[in-house]
Amino acid sequence: MQVQRWLPLEANPDVMNQFLRHLGMCPSWQFVDVYGMDAELLGLVPRPVCAVLLLFPVTEKYKLFRAEEEEKIKAEGQEVGASVYFMKQTISNACGTVGLIHAVANNTDKLSFDPGSAMQTFLEESQSMSPEERAKYLEKDERIRVTHECSAQEGQTEAPSIDEKVDLHFIAFVHLQDHLYELDGRKPFPVSHGRTSDETLLEDAIEVCKKFMQRDPDELRFTVVALSKA
């Protein structure tokens, strides 16, 4: 069976906010740019923050690290709260949408949605599903697919060809039950990065983002956005 392929979303807060608004999320929370990782620039990000998205290049160094990390977690185990909403990514180039769903689905206590909207329906219907079932459910969701395709045409850069190989990837960081979780639909499970809080989520997530950059010091293609209270 042929794998579905979508156009990639741009790491642009305006595009992300428009995308989520079209899917029915009320604009009381909005994505904003994180312009730098030092304390002064982090201080410019509106608070509170309930999720952080990182766009990064998938390099050979990263692939090696990912394999080592997976083996370590399988060997040593980790504690992941039962309430963490995690889904696999089975659609090529859909990591932006999967990252946004991870950000939104793990903050339904803070966010609000138009009744009967595409996002509210998706989250309600998929809540009791496994990560794999959620991925299959997204494959069949025409409202989200069409909105993604429209949003992928927006932004400041020209959308690549749908057949073009894209080596950039989105992941989300969220705070649940005092823990910081990395949610990456290409990984077999969420990754726990220790303790955090609503107040320190941004700083704690940035510390993990810095490690991504340190693994590939010659790369410049890193973008961070935060979901902040408007």
Looking at residue 167, its pLDDT comes to 87
Looking at residue 162, its pLDDT comes to 47
Q: Is 68 left (phi over 0), alpha (psi -120 to 50) or beta?
A: alpha
Query: Shortest CA distance to 88 belongs to which of 137, 159, 25?
Result: 137
Cβ-proximal residues to 200 (8 Å cutoff; 6+ apart), any chain: none
CB-based burial label for 64 (10 Å; 0-12, 13-18, 19+): exposed
Beta pairing partners, 229: 29
Query: What mean pLDDT is reported for the chain?
Result: 93
Domains of the chain: total: 1
Q: Which domain holds residue 215?
A: 13-229
Is position 113 within any domain?
yes
Cβ-proximal residues to 87 (8 Å cutoff; 6+ apart), any chain: 98, 101, 102, 105, 126, 131, 134, 135, 138, 185
Is the predicted pLDDT of residue 3 greater than 90, yes or no?
Answer: no
Is position 208 within any domain?
yes
* 46-73: average pLDDT: 97
Question: What pTM does this model have?
Answer: 0.94
Is position 4 within any domain?
no
Is position 140 within any domain?
yes
Looking at residue 43, its pLDDT comes to 96
Which residue numbers are catalytic? 95, 169
Cβ-proximal residues to 92 (8 Å cutoff; 6+ apart), any chain: 3, 4, 5, 6
The domain that holds 183 is classified in CATH as: 3.40.532.10
Is position 2 within any domain?
no
- Let me know how long the chain is: 230
pLDDT digits over 124-162, tens only?
999 999 999 999 999 999 999 999 988 888 755 554 444
Cβ-proximal residues to 211 (8 Å cutoff; 6+ apart), any chain: none
Is position 46 within any domain?
yes
Looking at residue 7, its pLDDT comes to 87
Is position 5 within any domain?
no
CB atoms within 10 A of CB 16: 26
The percentage of residues in the chain with a pLDDT greater than 90, rounded to a whole number, is: 87
Record the tokens describing residue 6, joined without a space: 């979508």
Is position 91 within any domain?
yes
pLDDT digits over 189-226, tens only?
999 999 999 999 999 999 999 999 999 999 999 999 99
